[in-house]
Amino acid sequence: MENKLIQIIEAALLSASRPLSIEEIQRLFPTDQTPSKEDIKETLNEIEDLCAKRGVELKRVSSGYRMQVKQSLSAYIAKLWEEKPQRYSKATLETLALIAYRQPITRGEIEQIRGVSVGTQLIRGILERGWIKIVGQRDVPGRPSLYATTKEFLDYFGLQHLRELPGLPDLPDVHSLDMELPLEEEQKEVESQSDLQAPH
């Protein structure tokens, strides 16, 4: 069964369009043949060892495990796809980085750190991508939404935990920034929230 277990799990990981958790791998088997979590972990370790001399590798990310092309070979494999990978604007990447490193964070706090306004469309685009989500509201006038990253963000960037993010030059601590918005800015924030909630 050991070799077959390797084959089944390897085939499942290669066929899946997303990472698979250990529990999902267990559900592939009939109830009376379900391998234990320990058996699956040992098998995954064996698959990882077997991949050492192959062009693919086993990668553990936030949502589970996936098979992927080794980073050192990606430049060759990329030529198989005619479409170029989507490129993101500097503003999008800076905003996403601030959310990742300073979460939970509001749009206003992002703007204070970046020194420029952050468009609603930009935030909406990252939300639709599934990389960030609203996790609450800051207890300040206007009650702006708080944003944080998702498991999809970690999976896309090949991370298992946020602590695996690379080091970043020191950024201002949003909690040390002046959180009291001027009256004019506060009114704009309230109006902006109203516009988003108003029926179209």
- Asked whether this chain's domains 2-80 and 90-197 adopt the same fold, the reply is yes
- Mean predicted confidence (pLDDT) in 116-129: 90
For 54-64, the pLDDT digits (tens) are 999 999 999 99
Contact 80, 144 (CB under 8 A): no
For 74-89, the pLDDT digits (tens) are 888 877 876 666 678 8
- For residue 187, pLDDT over 60 is answered with no
Q: Which CATH number describes the domain made up of 90-197?
A: 1.10.10.10
- Round the average pLDDT of the chain to a whole number and report it: 82
Contact 155, 61 (CB under 8 A): yes
Contact 58, 47 (CB under 8 A): yes
Answer CATH for 2-80 from 1.10.10.10, 1.10.3720.10, 3.30.2350.10, 1.10.645.10: 1.10.10.10
Token couple for 102: 């300073």
Enumerate the domain spans of the chain.
Answer: 2-80, 90-197
- Of the pLDDT bands very low, low, confident and very high (cuts 50, 70, 90), residue 200 is very low
Range name among 15-24, 101-110, 121-130, 191-200 with the lowest pLDDT average: 191-200
CA distance 128 to 130: 5
Amino acid identity of residue 87, one-letter, is R
